[in-house]
Amino acid sequence: MARDLDKERGGRTQTGADPAPAPAAAPHGNGEAPAAQSPLALPAAATPSMAQFLELKAAHRDCLLFYRMGDFYELFFEDAVAAAHALGIVLTKRGKHLGNDIPMCGVPVHRAEEYLQRLIRQGFRVAVCEQLEDPVEARKRGSKAVVRRDVVRLLTPGTLTEDSLLDAKARNYLTALFDGPRSGAGPPTALALASLDISTGECEVGEVPASDLPGEIVRLSPSEVIAADRLLADDGVRQWLAVAGATATPVAAASFDSLAGERLLKARLGVADLEAFGPFSRGELAAVGALLKYVELTQIGKAPSLRPPHRATPANRLVIDAASRASLEMLRSLSGAREGSLLHAIDRTVTGPGARELAGRLSSPLRDPAAIAARLDAVSVLYENEPLRGDLRRSLRAAPDIARALSRLALQRGGPRDLAAVRDGLAAARQCGLLLNDAARGIGLPQALAGIAQRLVACGGELAELLTRALVDDPAHQRRDGGFVRAGFRPDLDAARGLRDDSRKVMAALEAKYVQETGIRSLKVRHNNILGFYIEVSAAQAKPLSSGPLALVFRHRQTMAGTLRFTTAELVEIESRIVTSADRALALEQEVFAELAAQVAALAHAVGTVAAALAELDCETGLAEVAAEQGYVRPHLDASTTFEIRGGRHAVVEQALRAAKSGAFIDNDCVLSAAGPEMCTGIDEVRQARLWLVTGPNMAGKSTFLRQNALIAVLAQMGSFVPARSASIGIVDRLFSRVGAADDLARGRSTFMVEMVETAAILNQATSRSLVILDEIGRGTATFDGLSIAWAVVEHLHEVNRCRALFATHYHELTALADRLSEVANVTMQVREWRDAIVFLHKVTPGAADRSYGIQVGKLAGLPKAVTARAQEVLALLEKTQGKAPDGEALLADLPLFAAARAASHTPTAGAPSPLEDALRALRPDELTPKAALEALYRLKELAGTDA
Ligand code: ADP
């Protein structure tokens, strides 16, 4: 293969689409390098090209090596086997190494992104190796010289920048996780996290107590987490990374160096001091250090854009643990889809960056009333001023994703379309700025919007003006395609293009001239990559060109089946003019591109500021839009511990009911506050209390009611209007939600175990400022166990945590607690019995449910009549015993066993064959006359107890 490696792709031996053997280099998302295979050892006698390949591969053992050869990326050895298997492409072979065939597969360069996307999704890391010089250049060094190649980039899930590899509406965080410095030998008490989306430069740093790590990982939802081996070996960490869908990549513990982190961060931000960005702990700086080092490693020295890091700490955010995030279906529904989530219900943004900003705000609601009020002020103005909102949304729609374009340009991966994105984004920003300033003249702008208006024009007008002059309206994706510079921008480019295009016209004229001179009407001037331009005539008509005077002008070049190809001195001369002028035009365009990219890079910070302002504006305009469309109100937030929602609704269920035309959503009040001198909540007869016990049959709407209040708190603290008539909320520090029971089989725990683990977390962490939503605690065990646990949990919440809480239960016995605990009130979901059926009114009313209506619900669900009737009988007996659990004996003794008795005639007792089976067995079909067969059939039907 040695010699073959540098040959153009072409002479490949196809072995067919044989299913590749199991990949040797399995997806190594966890960073384990595939075992060094002996074929990859560098033999002493290796040829230069083989040595080059093996050396590059040896430096990137944990990656698939995409090895550029002409128009293809080729993969060899076990990489080829793994990639062919993962991509379902043909595995071929090429040459021999150490006496064995070398497996090979490849993907065309122009379709590489599509294949890379599939490999990254499957957990592979890919090293992209490019040709760093033209093969022509290499040949100048001698016929055996190898084309210079090197790896220019590693692709990993957390370091992607291409739009086709990314979700436009979601951040793509790479997160470094650090569990030091530690004080003792025990488990870490706190962990530092540093996250960077290299596709936008967004950066976030923070520290959390170890117990909050799962919630933090789910909040950040990184695509890739880097950490020291020791930390990744921890079962809990590994599991939570898997739950969040993050690839875990081990890095050397030594790269978590706080001094290096500080130095790198200062250098990248171009500042001498980090003070302006807040005090960073040593742990945070160590995480930043590992993060930036890994970015350098994967980007091979190129520096992506980096925005000043923002700090997220439990002190300035509403803390929501992982289980609550999942159960509240904040960003994804329980099935993992965006549809059905709160985010989907409130997302009215019109740009990718706006959608990312919204998701970021939703997953990190705030805690500072002033910061929340500032956001709400902005939403208010946009809510009230409908024409302004409409105009802004129209302008925003035209704004491309500047942040991602900017990042690609910074990494020298950008194309003309990225420059155009900056141009169009800046224009949209200017337009939005004008609209806001116009509005300001009438109504004045709240601080947040005034700040946005100012930042929208942070870049000045020159860059946008330059890009507008320089670029065509709709440029191509790739810079190598050319054609993106507007005519009139550079005179020398116009001249080269003129010559090139002129020459093409000349070529057409030449063809016409030759047709005339030779009299051959089918004569054509054609082009291919091997011959360049040539003259083609059919063999039958070629005679005049091969002999006589014309043969002096037309030189024969090639004979094909049915045609002959010629050239002329004139053709050669024109061809060289075309090639030179086209090359020159392309080279000049590359120059223009480099100049424009440099101009953008020089203003990268200002452009980034504009991009962030556009994202915020889209997010806030979208929140105002959904508020207006869905009838949301501005919540009031303060430092009290009140929670007073009037006419609250569930944002997601409400929209789902409307879409399905299944009737209106019934709104409900929820008032949780410490008992004060005023003992009335305003809801008839519900006394003031911090904890509401919610009873009612299944399907009555308990879960919906619980969740809607948690979601209203989340929406309010992220700075959104809320689905309610009014809402007044004392800032919540932690939100817990334990709704519904689901086995967590993936993590090997039963429903009850999960329930208890999560309940324990709540009881250990909830403070008097927390909001706790508990649904059906204690359902997963025996009745009395469950009731006792639920009872004790309510007491603990009431006496120790003293938080605001909603507790839904089917244990009616619990409602007695309201008489014993001063801060507990009973409410129930109203139901009506109508004839034999039950109607859910979905209305929260004072008091406790008198019974659970389980049998009526069973009827609604279509249980067979015999079963519901039987259940009624059992229930009647149980009610007679008044709560004392009757033992099985008593049940058997007291209940008429009619169902069993009736069944006995045709239900076989275990072991003994039934009369039907006996009869069947006795039948000898071969000996039966048709008449006897018919009679036997009737008898069998009779035995089976069905009508003939
Ligand atoms: P529970 O928890 O009591 O079993 P759910 O909260 O799951 O009941 O509600 C069952 C169904 O009733 C929901 O899927 C929804 O369609 C409907 N529902 C619940 N609350 C309301 C409401 N306030 N208005 C209208 N429909 C509701």
Residue 169 reports pLDDT greater than 80: yes
Q: Where residue 815 falls among pLDDT bands split at 50, 70, 90?
A: confident
Nearest alpha-carbon partner for 718 in 368, 468, 395: 368
pLDDT at residue 387, as a whole number: 95
Better-predicted residue by pLDDT, 139 or 283: 283
CB of 815 closer than 6 A to ligand 1? no
- Residue 544 token pair: 């005049």
The rounded Å distance from CA 724 to ligand 1 centre is 17
pLDDT at residue 42, as a whole number: 63
Ligand 1, atom 10: closest residue by C-alpha: 699
Secondary structure tally for the chain: helices H, strands E: 34, 27
Q: Where residue 22 falls among pLDDT bands split at 50, 70, 90?
A: very low
Distance CA 262, CA 274 (A): 8
Q: What values do phi and psi take at 884, rounded to 5?
A: -75, 130
pLDDT at residue 948, as a whole number: 41
The rounded Å distance from CA 701 to ligand 1 centre is 3
Q: Which atom of ligand 1 is nearest to the CA of 649?
A: 23
- Residue 762 token pair: 């709540």
CB of 701 closer than 6 A to ligand 1? yes
Tokens 């993962």 map to which residue?
86
Q: Which atom of ligand 1 is nearest to the CA of 775?
A: 2
10 Å Cβ neighbour count for 923?
15
Q: pLDDT exceeding 90 applies to what percent of the chain?
A: 51
Mutate to test the pocket of ligand 1, among 650, 653, 695 (most ligand atoms within 8 A of CB): 653
Residue 480 reports pLDDT greater than 70: yes
Residue 23 reports pLDDT greater than 60: no
Q: Which atom of ligand 1 is nearest to the CA of 706?
A: 6
CB of 318 closer than 6 A to ligand 1? no
Q: Where residue 45 falls among pLDDT bands split at 50, 70, 90?
A: low
Q: 606 vs 103, 305, 435, 618, 883, CA distance in Å? A: 50, 12, 20, 18, 72
What's the one-letter identity of residue 88?
Answer: G
| Mean pLDDT score of the chain | 85
CB of 704 closer than 6 A to ligand 1? yes
Ligand 1, atom 19: closest residue by C-alpha: 701
Distance CA 438, CA 450 (A): 12
pLDDT at residue 9, as a whole number: 47
Better-predicted residue by pLDDT, 760 or 26: 760
CB of 194 closer than 6 A to ligand 1? no
Tokens 């024009």 map to which residue?
457
User: Which residues have C-beta within 8 Å of that of residue 904, sequence separation ≥ 6?
Assistant: none
Nearest alpha-carbon partner for 53 in 44, 37, 64, 65: 65
Residue 668 reports pLDDT greater than 60: yes
Residue 60 reports pLDDT greater than 80: yes
Q: pLDDT exceeding 70 applies to what percent of the chain?
A: 87
pLDDT at residue 903, as a whole number: 41
pLDDT at residue 78, as a whole number: 93
Q: What is the mean pLDDT of residues 146-156?
A: 91
Better-predicted residue by pLDDT, 93 or 753: 93
CA dihedral 819, 821, 824, 825 (to 10 degrees): 10
Distance CA 77, CA 42 (A): 13
CB of 809 closer than 6 A to ligand 1? no
Distance CA 761, CA 777 (A): 13
Residue 218 reports pLDDT greater than 70: yes
In sequence order, the β-bridge partners of residue 564 are 537, 559
Cβ atoms of residues 500 and 438 within 8 Å: no
The rounded Å distance from CA 675 to ligand 1 centre is 29
Ligand 1, atom 17: closest residue by C-alpha: 701
CB of 703 closer than 6 A to ligand 1? yes
Residue 199 reports pLDDT greater than 70: yes
CB of 247 closer than 6 A to ligand 1? no
Ligand 1, atom 5: closest residue by C-alpha: 701
Tokens 């009508």 map to which residue?
947
Distance CA 54, CA 52 (A): 6
Q: Among 222-226, 614-618, 836-840, whose mean pLDDT is lowest?
A: 836-840
Mutate to test the pocket of ligand 1, among 704, 773, 829 (most ligand atoms within 8 A of CB): 704
CB of 842 closer than 6 A to ligand 1? yes
Distance CA 305, CA 660 (A): 45
Tokens 């430069």 map to which residue?
201
10 Å Cβ neighbour count for 56?
16
Segment 86-145, tens digit of pLDDT? 999 999 988 888 888 899 999 999 889 889 989 998 889 999 999 998 888 888 888 778
Ligand 1, atom 12: closest residue by C-alpha: 701
Residue 831 reports pLDDT greater than 90: no
Residue 19 reports pLDDT greater than 70: no
Distance of CA 445 to the CA centre of its chain: 35
CB of 666 closer than 6 A to ligand 1? yes
Residue 870 reports pLDDT greater than 70: yes
Q: What is the mean pLDDT of residues 830-834?
A: 81
Q: Where residue 740 falls among pLDDT bands split at 50, 70, 90?
A: low
CB of 699 closer than 6 A to ligand 1? yes
CB of 698 closer than 6 A to ligand 1? yes
Segment 905-929, tens digit of pLDDT? 444 444 567 778 888 888 888 888 8
Q: Among 163-177, 269-283, 372-386, 725-739, whose mean pLDDT is lowest?
A: 269-283
pLDDT at residue 30, as a whole number: 39
Q: Where residue 779 falls among pLDDT bands split at 50, 70, 90?
A: low
The rounded Å distance from CA 656 to ligand 1 centre is 11
Mutate to test the pocket of ligand 1, among 645, 661, 694, 699 (most ligand atoms within 8 A of CB): 699
Q: What is the mean pLDDT of residues 726-735?
A: 96
pLDDT at residue 869, as a whole number: 78
Q: What is the mean pLDDT of residues 694-710?
A: 91
pTM of the model: 0.80
Q: What is the mean pLDDT of residues 60-80?
A: 93
Segment 437-475, tens digit of pLDDT? 998 887 789 999 999 999 999 888 899 999 999 999 999
Q: What is the mean pLDDT of residues 478-491?
A: 90
The rounded Å distance from CA 119 to ligand 1 centre is 42
Residue 1 reports pLDDT greater than 50: no
CB of 738 closer than 6 A to ligand 1? no
Burial of 422 (C-beta count, 10 Å sphere; 0-12/13-18/19+): buried
Residue 542 reports pLDDT greater than 60: yes
pLDDT at residue 219, as a whole number: 92
pLDDT at residue 149, as a whole number: 93
CB of 670 closer than 6 A to ligand 1? no
The rounded Å distance from CA 644 to ligand 1 centre is 21
CB of 653 closer than 6 A to ligand 1? yes
Q: What is the mean pLDDT of residues 338-355?
A: 96
